[in-house]
Structure 1
């Protein structure tokens, strides 16, 4: 999957200042209540972690998350309704941990993440390590202009490769 980190993709525009995001103090207060494994904030518009469960969806919505992006191939069949029940949109981009993401899946992912109407987004796979790590690294390199080494270092902070 590290091969996918060299994919070059152009970045979309940042959301406007009037995007309706929660205040910084409010978001910090809510961050401390998130119980999702391997949870992290990449930017004000991008959160990442493991598969949410039960109350986690309400906690994500309280952070201001508008869209959940599931990177699992055979995800929780109830997840779309759990996300929608608290006012969030849901998208699944089916991936495995064994295959490099296709150019089409990378483009679909970046289009969703970069669309101001979808943000903030929460990106996850089962454990928030491998698929989430790779796609977040691609996001970092395309949007934040990170090097592959910088992106890989962040992946390791979120347990990439740990089993």
Structure 2
């Protein structure tokens, strides 16, 4: 057997072992071994990949998470039930890894994580999952946890936008942080390209009226 054939077999076995560990962790222990967790703003905003129920409990105990933002659309049933049990808020929106979110989605998420009130009825078409107060004018408390499946692409892009528009980072620095959380640009090139061609002075004031060019 050639070296290349052995290498391909090794890669295939490694992938299956990794997937096995992932599902074993989530289903049987409630813990995702590839959580890809990170602090964005200590005490205010955090990021991760897909959650297990044990992960959520640990985050609430350690970081005081009060609101989950799920970029997959609907949250997993067991995680939503655990969130309800813990008295958390949950917002689910459908973001895609193969294209950047539209301005309505970005504007909605910016209002949530900056603690501003929203008119929920204006966003009913966008909200795919919800645990939270009823009423028209709603403000969801932090700290916030934003997550997708792997915490690398959809979450990575949203955090990059936050870094640029709310913290004054350069687009280059925000892209480099995406790489540290395992974003692989050739897989979803449109997210990377959107950040490369972004003009913060035009883009950011729409999301953050207090944005100041660095």
CA RMSD across the alignment:
2.0
Q: TM-score, normalised by structure 2?
A: 0.56
For structure 2, the residue ranges without an aligned partner over 5 or more in a row are 1-31, 117-139, 188-214
Q: Which residue of 2 aligns with 1:147?
A: 170
Q: TM-score, normalised by structure 1?
A: 0.73
Q: Which residue of 2 aligns with 1:112?
A: 112
User: How far did 1:161 drift?
Assistant: 1.1
Q: Number of paired residues?
A: 130
Distance 1:36 1:57 in 2: 14
Q: Which has the higher contact order (CA 8 A, sep 6+)?
A: 1
Distance 2:48 2:179 in 1: 13
Query: Residue deviations 1:82-141, cap 9 Å, x none?
Result: 212112110011111112100000011111111075211011000000000000001111
User: How far did 1:35 drift?
Assistant: 6.0
Q: Which residues of 2 match residues 91-130 of structure 1 at below 5 A?
A: 91-115=91-115, 117-130=140-153
Distance 1:35 1:59 in 2: 14
CA contact (8 A) 1:61 1:87 kept: no
Q: Which residue of 2 aligns with 1:41?
A: 39
Structure (1 or 2) with the greater helix fraction: 2
For structure 1, the residue ranges without an aligned partner over 5 or more in a row are 1-33
Distance 1:48 1:68 in 2: 10
- The structure having more radius of gyration, on CA atoms, is 2
Deviates more, 1:111-120 or 1:82-91: 111-120
